[in-house]
Amino acid sequence: MINGRKIVVVFPAYNAEKTLLRTYEEVVAQGVVDHIILVDDQSLDRTVAVARTLPGVHVIVHERNRGYGANQKTCYRTALEQGADVVVMVHPDYQYTPKLITALASVVAYDVYPCALGSRILGGHAFRSGMPWWRYVSNRVLTLFQNLMLNAKLSEYHTGYRAFSRRMLEQSPLEAFDDDFIFDNQMLVWILGQGYGIGEVTCPTKYFADASSISFRRSVRYGLGCIRVALAHRLSRNAPTQRAAHPTSPDATRKPQPTRR
């Protein structure tokens, strides 16, 4: 718990048998997490068996492989049902260090921002940590394009390390978002479109054989999806019938200016 807020960590899991225990132990070691939820998307390894041996982990198994976005939807719905005030998504492949949970959750728990991201780009960690050059370049190009389209200043839109406030998750149209990888991008575009600010915390990452990674082909499809989502947002903002920012947004009367942390 931080500032009297219940902190729930969610693991969207798929084939994380080899890295789940390390991730879990580091999460627990932070001493601020009240509850852990793991949603397995029909892993082909022993992820579920390992998860069920871990004390305090609430395990949910999808009846079929539904996709990364659908996995997150189940994670967030369950976290809200469990009374979460702050929800932190941590990938159980140990690519993102759980040691930053306290920092990310604090940004939200102390009402600095309703959303916080662990950025691989801030601090120059990504390339030095082994991110493939083509992925690094595509990340930077896509981020530049998205910032221009969204009038924002994020260092990246593609990190999987995120923290959200309960209120934001309750207000977001989760079910309207994609069930695959583009879900992450749609979520951020929606947040910025509502006029909310987004905090960023620099985050070193690890690239190794057991860490999950999508194929080059799926990366291309994801990149095209990001472009489509950003363009759709820009066109809707320029339309005469543009919908106003969410009336309950703290930044509804001004353009979003996400601040790097």
**Does the structure show a pLDDT above 70 at 203?**
yes
Residue 168 pLDDT greater than 90, yes or no: yes
Name which of 24-38, 159-173, 220-234 the model is least confident about: 220-234
Of 44-53, 152-161, 219-228, minimum mean pLDDT range: 219-228
Q: Which of 17-31, 79-93, 174-188, 201-215 comes out lowest in average pLDDT?
A: 201-215
The two three-digit tokens of residue 135, written as one number: 């992925």
Write down the pLDDT at residue 127: 64
| Token pair in block for residue 250 | 């703290």
Check whether 83 has a pLDDT greater than 60. Answer: yes
Q: Is there a domain that residue 247 lies in?
A: no
pLDDT at position 54: 98
pLDDT digits (tens, 9 = 90+) for 174-196: 999 999 989 999 999 999 999 99
Query: By the 8 A CB rule, do 5 and 86 touch?
Result: yes
- Cβ distance 226 to 189 under 8 Å? no
In a domain, 2, yes or no: no
What tokens does 195 get?
């006029």
Of 212 and 125, the one with more pLDDT:
125
- Domain with residue 39: its CATH number is 3.90.550.10
User: Is 248 a member of any domain?
Assistant: no
Would you state the pLDDT for residue 91? 95
Mean of all residue pLDDT scores within the chain: 86
Give mean pLDDT, residues 213-232.
Answer: 78
**Inside any domain, residue 258:** no
Structural domain that includes position 190: 7-237
The count of structural domains within the chain is 1
The 10 Å Cβ neighbour count of residue 34 is: 17
CA 187 to chain CA centroid, nearest Å: 9
DSSP class of residue 86 equals: E
Position with higher pLDDT, 51 vs 223: 51
pLDDT given at position 130: 65
Does residue 117 sit within a domain?
A: yes
The confidence band for 249, taking pLDDT boundaries of 50, 70 and 90, is very low
The one-letter amino acid code at 200 reads E
Is residue 256, in this structure, part of any structural domain at all? no
* pLDDT for 206 beyond 80: no
In a domain, 261, yes or no: no
244 lies in some domain: no
pLDDT for 257 beyond 50: no
- Dig out the tokens for 57 from the structure: 């982990």
State which H helix or E strand residue 117 sits in.
strand 115-119
pLDDT in tens, 149-167: 999 999 999 899 999 999 9
